[in-house]
Chain A
Amino acid sequence: MNRSPARIPNFEAFGGTPTILVVSPDSELTRALKAELENTDAVTITCVQGGHEAIALLRDQLPAVVICDVTLPDMDGFRLCKLMKLPLISGSDQVPIVLVSGLYRDVLAEHVARKAKAFAFLKLPTDLAIVGRTVELALHRLLPGVHERQLVNHKGWLQVACVDDTLAHTITTAVEVDGWKVERAKTLAELVPGWTNFAPQVVLFGLPARGNFKLPDLQLQQLEEPPTLIAIMQRAEPDRVLELIELGVDDFLVLPCDPARYVECVRDARLKYNFRSMHSQFEAQIDKLTAVSEYLDMVITNSHEAIFTCDPVGNVRLWNKGAERVYGYAAEEIVGKSVDDHLDPPGFTRKAQNVVRLLQQRGSMTEPEVERRRKSGEVFTVSATYTLLSSPREEVLGFSVIERDVTPIKALENERIKSARLRAITQTAVTANDHINTPLGIILGYAQFLEMKLATIDQQDRAALDIIQQQVHKIKGIMNKLKLISDPIVKNYSIEGVTMLDLSKSQLSNEAAN
């Protein structure tokens, strides 16, 4: 099958190059369209952003073709198309309009485009590559082929596979009158390989009168938009029909029949095709939404943090597994009940409504430590983040709370404070040791010195000096005990400029222990 139609003579007899008006607020789309149109010979491109701007331009000069985005800031592309087809501006109804859209991609949009009398409807980005070709078709530089589905004056593209020429001719004539483009072949097997590139909307194929007819492998699952299949049978055979239905055939024509019946059958098939196409698109959208909602649900449900939402008066609306774990209330127990009554520890004064008021001022807030009460009555500390929930119309719907139980963290912190306190105490002990030992040394030293110096000291005075020395040793004993407390941290003690060696494992420590 030769799909490239012959180039027809150039009609630009008026001189100059034809202008193409691109209407789109999307600069990226404009750039892409321009890039595609650069491959098209001898055209000038003008770009505007909105519908009104486009109409203003039309008053001065009519472009040869208008390419218009469906999504425009001031009016939609369908409306611009309709306005141009009204004889408001002389000649504007003669300008072919190519509607493009990345947003509307279904057969319904195609239908609207057809009603608006657009020349073609391109679904982006799939159809971006044929922009240039469509423009050339609009400029009458090319003849349209049967598979030119972007052109909305095509009702559809039909393939007929039939050995009987007379029958094929009858069908073709009937449906072409109804506005279909028809392609003919002898057998179905000839047509199937082409479907991977361009699938028709409807396929009519004849079955031989008798004998076992084997359908070629249609591979319908691999096609993005499979055609509607109609079998033409010489007579109704229930077994055959069932077999064909299983293979994916949609409808049957039993010969002989009226030509009007062909047209009707093809129209039905078209409807079915449209329905199928819409259905698959809806299904894809629903799948996407379900996946997103399931994913979010999973994130919230499995989150380790307690996540819950409240309405503006403080009744719980949503309660996740984390909240069940932290608070001990199951969702059934608490949803619909007041959050203040269940979670506030005794004497807690800030109520849900105060939270809403605060959130209205700030949007969201975080409390690093706030006391809450579990179902068991135990009061514990959480770190909480509150966010205001409001509708697009700024109505307050309530607030969401994400909380983390910080009891373990708090315990750790207390431990840290305790150990810091202990460190301070031992540090003091080390210092005290020195400060007391020095005067003790002086007292002891002088007592001994006096004892030595006054060799002829009397018994009573000697006893007094001995008592002084004994008492010093007693205080020293106490100081030694204090030393033991401070022992573990002294390893880190150093004085400026000197690196201490820990000799505790050497002989010295044994000596000290003795």
Chain B
Amino acid sequence: METLKKKVLVVDDDEVIRDLLINFLKFSGYEGIGAPDGQKALEMVLADAPDMIITDIHMPLMNGFQLLRAVKRLNSETPVIFITGFAHFRRFFSDKTARADGFLEKPFSLESIDGLVKKYL
């Protein structure tokens, strides 16, 4: 049954957050993989084809919005969820070309992550 595990990509430049989310996802029965920035994340999207992406917005090299657009262009089915400390991004969390599937403000509770993951996977 190992191969049936859904793959979730966690993108955040903060390693602690990344580890927390990966550990939580593993604990909840998913396969969690991590990337420190948008560019690396895009490479992993191409290589590992994750079923879902949880991403920060403010990151080096490629920000969350750019990643969102790239992912949606590759495969619009893949759900993308933003997590950010910039509470105000809630207002802007989509633009005309791509719309995120969910939005979480830091600090987020693990239940809300669980809820979103369950909703899309």
16 additional contacts (CB under 8 A) given A442-B17, A449-B27, A512-B91: A434-B84, A438-B106, A441-B83, A442-B107, A444-B108, A445-B108, A445-B109, A449-B20, A449-B110, A476-B107, A487-B88, A496-B63, A498-B63, A500-B92, A501-B92, A501-B96
- Is B82 in the interface zone, CB < 8 Å from A? no
What are the residues of chain B within 8 A of A493 when measuring CB–CB?
86, 88
Kindly identify which residue among B27, B85, B91, B109 contacts A444, using a CB–CB cutoff of 8 Å: B109
Within 8 A of B (CB), among A93-152: none
- B90 close to A445 (CB less than 8 A): no
Say what secondary structure dominates the interface of chain A.
Answer: helix
CB distance from B39 to the nearest CB of A (A): 13
In the complex, what distance in Å separates the CA atom of A438 from the CA atom of B111?
Answer: 17
- A449 close to B106 (CB less than 8 A): no
- Is A472 in the interface zone, CB < 8 Å from B? yes
- A440 close to B107 (CB less than 8 A): yes
Taking CB as reference atom, which chain B residue is nearest A440? Answer: B107
In the complex, what distance in Å separates the CA atom of A441 from the CA atom of B27?
Answer: 18
B-side interface size class:
20 to 34
Number of A-B residue pairs having CB atoms within 8 Å of each other in the complex: 104
- A452 close to B110 (CB less than 8 A): yes
CB distance from B116 to the nearest CB of A (A): 14
Complex A-B: 25 CB contacts under 8 Å: A433-B87, A435-B85, A436-B85, A437-B85, A440-B106, A441-B17, A441-B83, A442-B16, A444-B108, A445-B17, A448-B109, A448-B111, A476-B107, A490-B91, A495-B57, A496-B63, A497-B63, A498-B63, A498-B66, A501-B94, A502-B91, A502-B92, A503-B91, A504-B91, A509-B91
Whether A499 contacts B110 in the complex (CB less than 8 A), given A445-B21, A449-B23, comes out as no
- Is A362 in the interface zone, CB < 8 Å from B? no
What 5 A-B pairs have minimum CB-CB distances, sorted nearest first? A434-B85, A437-B85, A441-B107, A437-B106, A500-B92
- Is B30 in the interface zone, CB < 8 Å from A? no
What are the residues of chain B within 8 A of A490 when measuring CB–CB?
88, 91
Whether A442 contacts B20 in the complex (CB less than 8 A), given A495-B58, A501-B94, comes out as yes
In the complex, what distance in Å separates the CA atom of A143 from the CA atom of B19?
Answer: 122
